[in-house]
A = this chain, B = another copy of it.
Amino acid sequence: MRYDSEHRQRTRQRILQVAAAAIRKQRISRVALADVMSAAELTHGGFYLHFKSKDELIAEAITYMFDERYGRFLERFSNADAQEALSAFIDYYLSVLHLEAPERGCPVPMLVCDVAHMPNDARRRFVAGVTLLIDGLAALLERAGVADPHQQANSMLAELAGSLNLARALGGGTSVTEALEASRHAMKRRFGIVG
């Protein structure tokens, strides 16, 4: 054979990686398969060798995003100090870096508006990713001594994603970076996190 046995699998992963970035950067409806394929250094005709349809790509890419962003995060912090982990998470989430690089960031803010109109499979994957993330945060909050941790984790993610979205929408000027910093402090105070 021309290619080794894992070649196809690697190509598929490359397409997924490119798509996962493009979806977060440009929104699903603006992502064209031809662009994804050429970013993966392929021609767009070859797409259907790897995926049944654009819908399947999107569904797989959503799982890919959550794994990429949070797979190691949840694992890494499962044994760390809960207060420190939460503080670091908030600092990252409401950072200018995260604001400016949606393509490598949390999938929740960008996708949350699209979910209602996604095909079922994609929606299920999004819900699964969010559920896992909230469960992880709830575990940290519980270890940090916060009451009603699951509800608080839900609320924390809602405020993090909401603040980031609003900051992105308002355009990222200095007043917005100040608002981000203020949000970081307010959230830590609110959830009783020191650091």
Contacts and interface: CB of A to CB of B under 8 A. Distances in A.
Interface of A: 26-27, 29-30, 108-117, 123, 126-127, 130, 148, 151, 154-155, 157-163, 165-166, 168-171, 179, 182-183, 186, 190
Contact of A160 (B112, B115, B162): B162
Contacts of A182: 148, 151, 155
Contacts of A190: 190
Chain A interface mostly helix, strand, loop or mixed?
Answer: helix
Count of this chain's copies in the oligomeric assembly: 2
Given A151-B186, A158-B162, 7 more contacts: A30-B117, A116-B169, A154-B179, A154-B183, A155-B159, A155-B182, A162-B165
Nearest first, the 3 A-B pairs at minimum CB distance are: A162-B162, A113-B113, A29-B29
B183 A158 contact: yes
A177 to B, nearest CB: 13
Contacts of A112: 113, 165-166, 168-169
A167 to B, nearest CB: 8
B168 A116 contact: yes
A51 to B, nearest CB: 21
B169 A115 contact: yes
A121 to B, nearest CB: 14
Contacts of A161: 162, 165-166
